[in-house]
Amino acid sequence: MDAVRKTPLWIVVVATAASAVLLYSGTGIYAVAALTWLAPVPVLWLAPRVSARAAFLTSAVAGLVGATNNLIWYITSPSDAPLWPMGLMIMLAYSLTFALGVLPYRALLLRGRALLAAVTLPAVWTVVLWIVAVSNPTGIMGTLASAQGDVPLVLQTTTVTGMWGLEFLVLFVPAGIAALFAPSVGAGARWRTAGVAVVVAGLVLGLGAWRLVGGGEGPSQTVALLSNNDSGWGARLDQPAGEELVAKYEKRIAALPDGVEAVVLPEGEFTADEESLGVLVEPMRRLAKEKDLTIVVGAVYKDEPKQYNNALVIPPKGDVVTYTKHHDGGPNTLGTELAFQPGHGKRVGIAICADLNIPNPARQYGVAGARALLVPAADERYDGWLHARAGVLQTVANGSSMAWAGRTGTLTVTDGYGRVLAEKDSGGAGEFTEVVTEVPQGPGATVYSRYGDWFVWLCIGLAAVGTVLALSKRRDKPSPAASATVEAAAAASGRPTEPVRSGDS
């Protein structure tokens, strides 16, 4: 066995446990953003010092244990579509994706290819997540990038690359750090890797600072976000409970301060058919006219045999605008059209909840000219913050502010740069949770809005090149510096030195 593989068991255990603890704290429903960047370092440092099997297992175990931070959400979710045991499958998928990416990372480090290793791992990770996002009806949330949802400085990266660039970046940093200390990497490769990392960091931080300091705010409107804390999904308007809930909202909206221009209620707050829809629309139309405001309310509309998850946009003048949710894992018929708040041209768009788990329609709104999104949403209590931050990733990427009204989640308002302007948890004590604040329009369409997922195609290329070279039979000649490093390590441990086979995997 090669000298680089003679790593004591206790070091293997400590490194795995350290990454597991950091992943637990740096990802998920209570993520600490700073820890996300450090979490993979211990197992990535370990990877070139153990066998391929051990590197895979330690990475998978660390990822799986770290992912248990979402267990309380998965197990206690009241959703109609149970998150358990589906939650276990999500945890396994995340951990195995990370572990599979570690294999070419390790192989490339053993060949002395530090820079290629440092980009291959995050490229593999990013490509897999992109495939899941575009193929899954409800998209993706709770990733490494989501954990950075409260860090506007790095969120600006998404304006060029979409969320995928941030996903890549959060894994590139720890992969690069660990690669600098790999025993088979020579001095030249270390310097190249460090140099590229410094340049990337400079570009990311420079872009973030430039946008945050130089970006001005556009026109704004006062928006109220309302959520009844006692209501569940889809109160039926043909039953007394539905009528009572309409009356409660009517009373609450009537009591809003003067100057409020839009009110956003949660997703699926009511269920209606053609006969009962007027129970909601008529009183809301009168109220919109009296208060001179627009009301956006989530309502499931049944038109047998079809069903639609809609947002009704009820303006003070003119016709009701209907937006149908584009992405939904339930039995609903999906929409394809964009919708806008009347009176604002195409500057204020409408989306619903999981629509912001996926690049479109947020990118389509950016291209169309939207600079703010009003978003009825519904969550499962524990995932409120996490889901709202998935929305932040997409709205910042396309230059839009966001007013997110989540039942049993959060009421969240962010500007077009991802800065949180107001936020409250919903579903708690009291009859209603309410947020009233100014919502400025964002800067509008970005590089990402115009060019889409170009960065994903770059990641596909990097992942392909890195994986092919990692699997190739050719064995690179180790650098003198790398050989000296291994010999010194062996001498320090008192073990005999064996030839370094930098291609050994």
Q: pLDDT by residue (tens digit) across 32-76?
A: 999 999 999 999 999 999 999 999 999 999 999 998 888 777 777
Q: Which two tokens stand for residue 21?
A: 């603890």
Give the right CATH number for 220-442 from 3.40.50.720, 3.60.110.10, 3.30.70.20, 1.10.287.470.
3.60.110.10
Positive or negative, the CA dihedral 117, 123, 126, 129 is: negative
Q: Domain residues of the chain, as ranges?
A: 3-214+452-493, 220-442
Query: Cβ distance 502 to 112 under 8 Å?
Result: yes
For each of the chain's 505 residues, which pLDDT tens digit applies? Answer: 444 458 999 999 999 999 999 999 998 888 899 999 999 999 999 999 999 999 999 999 999 999 888 877 777 766 555 566 777 888 899 999 999 999 999 999 999 999 999 999 999 999 999 999 999 888 888 899 999 999 999 999 999 999 999 999 999 999 999 999 999 999 999 999 999 999 999 999 999 999 999 766 779 999 999 999 987 888 999 999 999 999 999 999 999 999 999 999 999 999 999 999 999 999 999 999 999 999 999 999 999 899 999 999 999 999 999 999 999 977 899 999 999 999 999 999 999 999 999 999 999 999 999 999 999 999 878 888 999 999 999 999 999 999 999 999 999 999 999 999 999 999 888 899 999 999 999 999 999 999 999 999 999 999 999 999 999 875 555 555 555 554 554 454 454 444 444 433 3
Give the integer Cα–Cα distance in Å for 339 and 240: 31
Query: Cβ distance 392 to 143 under 8 Å?
Result: no
Q: Which two tokens stand for residue 154?
A: 């790095």
Angle, helices 187-214/114-135, rounded to nearest 10 degrees: 50
